[in-house]
Structure formats: C-alpha cells, structure tokens
Amino acid sequence: MTAVATQLGRVGTWVNRRRQWLWAAFFIVGLAFPFVARPYHLSLTIEVLVFAIFAMSLDLLLGYTGLPSFGHAAFFGLGAYVVGYIASTSPLALGLTSNLLVTVPIVMAVTAAVALAIGFFALRTSGITFLMITLAFAQMLFSIAIRWSGVTGGSDGLPGIPRPTLGVGPLSYTFTSRESYYFLVLAFFLASWWLLRRIVNSPFGWTLRGIRENEQRLRALGYNTFRYKMAAFAISGAFAGLAGMLLVHFFRHASPENLYWTTSGQVLIMLIVGGTGTLTGSILGAAVIRLFPLLVSTYFDRWRTLQGLLFIAFVLYAPRGIVGLLRGERDEEAL
C-alpha cells in the first residue's frame, strides 16, 4: 500500500504542474466523446456527470462546512419530483412545462426553500444528532412520496416525463437524442463546478471553512455562524435538486428511490472515496462509485465483496480519498 501511495503522490505532483493543460484536455475530450463513444458508455458518462453535481453539492456541506448530512437525498429526490410533477401534470401553457427556462429556476428555488425549512431545525444541532435529523427528514419525504399517490404516483413514481426543451417558440430546441442531452448535462456540470468553485474560494467559502475548523472562535469574532450554515444548506440543496432534475429528465421517471437513505449513503461514499473538501474529489468519487460495479461485475461474480474491500481500504489507508493520495496526504500510522 505504501508503494501505491508513493506512486499516486508522484502522479499528483505531475497533475498539479500540468493542471491547466489537463483541464483543456478534459474539455476537448468532453466535446469529442459523444462522437466516438457507444450509446451505453455515453449513458454511463451522463450518470457520472449528474452524480458529480450531486456529490459536489454535498461536499459544500460536509467538506467545507463540516456538516455530515445523511439526508441529502431529500433534495435530490425532491428536485426529481418537482420537475416530474411540473412536466406531467402542470397546467402551464405555451409548452413551458418541460422548458429549462422555467423548470430550472422552479426546481432550485423549491429545493432551496425546503432546505432552509429543514436547516432551520437541523442546524441547531451538530455531530451525530445533525446527521440523524437530516436522515429523519429525508425519510419523511420518502414516506410522503410513497403515500401521496395522487401527486407522486406512490411506489410507481411519475413515469413518462418528457425530454427537456430550451428556448421559446421557434427558437426552442428539444433534447431528444442521447448525444444532445449529454452536451446539456456537460454544460450544467461545468457551470455547477464553476459556480461552486467561485463560492468556496470567496470570503463566504473561507468563512465556511472557519466554521468547520472552529465555529466557537468565529462566533467570538462576531460572525453569525447560523446564517452562514443556513445559506450553505440552501445552496447545497439547490444544486442537489438540479442534479435530481437532470437525472429524471434522462430516465424519464421520478422514483421514490431517489429519496431513500441509500441514495444519501451512496453520495457520502463518493466523498469518502474521492476526498472531502475538494470539488475534484467529488467528481472522482462519483466516477469510481458509479463505474466500479458496472466494470468489475463483468469479470467477477462477487463484485460486491471487492467493492466492500475497496471502501475498507480507503477508510483505513486513505482517509482523505483519492485527492489526498494524489497530494501525498495519507494516514502514516495505518501505513
């Protein structure tokens, strides 16, 4: 394990020296990918990009603010149901029920508002209590989704959600093909990454880091830490809702499983594997967790055992995730 970590550290040094070139290469590959990839691989990439947005939204809470939420699926699933309800049953006219100019602001506003309502109660606690309260709220929404069948479709969810459109009148475009939807998700992913990067590197983001490190000290300096945490909770919920919206437009089905606690657990594992407190780690973790079962199950029947061993290895030997290994940060005692 020491040799592997050393090699990853060397790779990380090489990556840091060539970061701008690598981002340019990533952008070029991202644009060319739909023209060379098979439909199956393109679908996997779309899922990875959607869950990368979801993971980055949680990292704003866990990695930068130090809030270990176990109910982040509440906003992910809520975003899916909001756009599903608007697109399938809303009486909105002019063909705007699936128009991104309408649905994106509504989804992000609703999920941010719900996040503020949940955060008003949950953020008065901390640690394991905060984790359990966020889990309880997410499970409450899951129960509502199952029982309120007249609105949510019950356990069957909301099927037949149309593909999204963008524009008005003759200038509108419907993302019907897999390739066009990939470019849409890629655009949302890059925009989300850029916005969240600006947020975490702003004075607001550095204040969140201060709350994570020593909240009492910031209070003594006159900061209203509760308001900062509420703002972070709302922003995080809005981006999670955006990810849920993109996923439901891709699968064309809003499912109550998106609200279940296992979805929250999955995105937490993404951050553990990729590394918290870094948006790049969120992206890497989303790629590993979404692709590992699909790639390994082709060759091994007991792939779940290998997946469990992978998680244990990261917890024991790489608590700072893939990004930590690339930076040469590892648990020396475990090694």
Q: Within 13 A of 33's CA, how many CA atoms are on the CB side?
A: 22
- 103 pLDDT more than 80: yes
pLDDT digits (tens, 9 = 90+) for 124-177: 998 899 999 999 999 999 999 999 988 888 888 888 888 899 887 778 888 989
Q: Where are the alpha helices (DSSP H) in 90-202?
A: 100-122, 127-147, 149-152, 178-200
The residue ranking higher by pLDDT, 289 or 94, is 289
Q: Cα 168 to chain center, whole Å?
A: 29
Q: What is the pLDDT of residue 93?
A: 42
Q: What is the pLDDT of residue 283?
A: 92
Q: Where exactly are the structural domains of the chain?
A: 2-16+46-326
Q: Give me 84's structure tokens.
A: 């599903």
| Cα–Cα distance measured from residue 166 to residue 249, given in angstroms and rounded to the nearest whole number | 13
Q: What is the DSSP string of 215-279?
A: HHHHHHTT--HHHHHHHHHHHHHHHHHHHHHHHHHHHTEE-GGGGSHHHHHHHHHHHHHH-TT-H
User: Please, are residues 151 and 88 in contact by the beta-carbon 8 Å criterion?
Assistant: no
Q: What is the mean pLDDT of residues 91-119?
A: 84
The structure tokens 């992000």 sit at 108
pLDDT digits (tens, 9 = 90+) for 266-311: 999 999 999 999 898 999 999 999 888 888 877 777 888 888 888 8
Q: 99: pLDDT confidence band, cut at 50, 70 and 90?
A: confident
- 15 pLDDT more than 60: no
The residue ranking higher by pLDDT, 225 or 126, is 225
Q: What is the mean pLDDT of residues 321-332?
A: 70
The residue ranking higher by pLDDT, 313 or 213, is 213
Q: Which of 119-128, 131-140, 320-329 has the lowest mean pLDDT?
A: 320-329
Q: What is the pLDDT of residue 334?
A: 37
| Cα–Cα distance measured from residue 181 to residue 179, given in angstroms and rounded to the nearest whole number | 5
Q: What is the mean pLDDT of the chain?
A: 86
Q: What is the pLDDT of residue 299?
A: 79
